Amino acid sequence: MADPLHSIAKQVFDQHGPRLSVSDIAARAGVSRSTVYQRLGSKADILRLFNPDDGAAPADIEDRIMAAILKAALHSGVRAATIEAIARRAGVGPATIYRRYGDKDGLLRRFIARHAPVTGIRALPLGKGPVRAQLRALIGFLLTYMHDNRDIVRLIQNGSAEDRAYLRALREADQSTSRRIAAFFEAQQRAGTISAEIPAPLLAANLAGMLYAHTLFEPTAAAIDPQTSADAILRMFDAVIIEETP
């Protein structure tokens, strides 16, 4: 049977982090300090019990924290997910998160920056070569990203209105995928390679809808072939692509 004093010490650690004291645990448990020392050891021993990140590689710790954010947010929503809940899922102390990211907003900004697809979009050869090849590269990348990160996409797009507004407020302007897609269409319209009859933001919205249909809607999403789907979506834009002269 688990030692109740261990559970109480964990509660104190979750509340105070490395600032906890043996006296805090003794007072919460209604026992003497000597009892805490006998059953749990010194403050350093207690901190080692509840700081499994101690000695772990920094990248591994961040991987666990980032994965824990997603799990906690999917379970209770972005705004309702607490630092303490995220820390428990990551197997780290809350103090580790506060030390690394400052607060919950800082933590979520890091999550957004790490998972936003805009870095991959910037690496695409957009603005070079035939417009059809550029659009095919963009669609293929976004399909693969959304297929591989469906939980993140669902969290961002299907969460409550309050959660979506919260995430938008934290996101930097240049991290907006929809703005990047619209900017691509705008550039092509200025170059005369895509018809300007349909506004670029509407073209971007139409593309987003097709991407969601191919990656999020069951049962087809589970068996998606990103490359085949990219070719199918590209054909839907034939009406607006202006044929290039050799």
| 4-50 and 58-115: identical CATH topology | yes
Summarize pLDDT for 187-202 with one digit per residue, the tens: 999 999 999 999 999 9
* Unique residue bearing structure tokens 């290039």: 244
Best CATH choice for the domain 58-115 from the list 3.40.718.10, 1.10.10.60, 3.30.70.3000, 1.10.40.50: 1.10.10.60
Predicted local confidence at residue 207, as pLDDT: 96
**Does residue 67 contact residue 155 with C-beta atoms inside 8 Å?**
no
Tell me if the domain spanning 4-50 has CATH number 1.10.10.60. Answer: yes
Beta carbons within 10 angstroms of residue 214's beta carbon: 23
- In this structure, the dihedral spanned by the alpha carbons of residues 196, 201, 206 and 212, taken in order and rounded to 10 degrees, is 150
Using a cut of 0.85, tell me whether the model's pTM lies above it.
no
Q: What type of residue is 163?
A: D
Average pLDDT over all residues of the chain:
85
Under CATH, what is the fold of the domain 118-236?
Tetracycline Repressor; domain 2 (1.10.357)
Nearest to 22 by CA among 14, 185, 35: 35
Predicted local confidence at residue 110, as pLDDT: 92
Give me the residue spans of the domains in the chain.
4-50, 58-115, 118-236
Summarize pLDDT for 33-85 with one digit per residue, the tens: 888 877 777 777 777 667 655 555 556 888 999 999 999 999 999 999 998 89
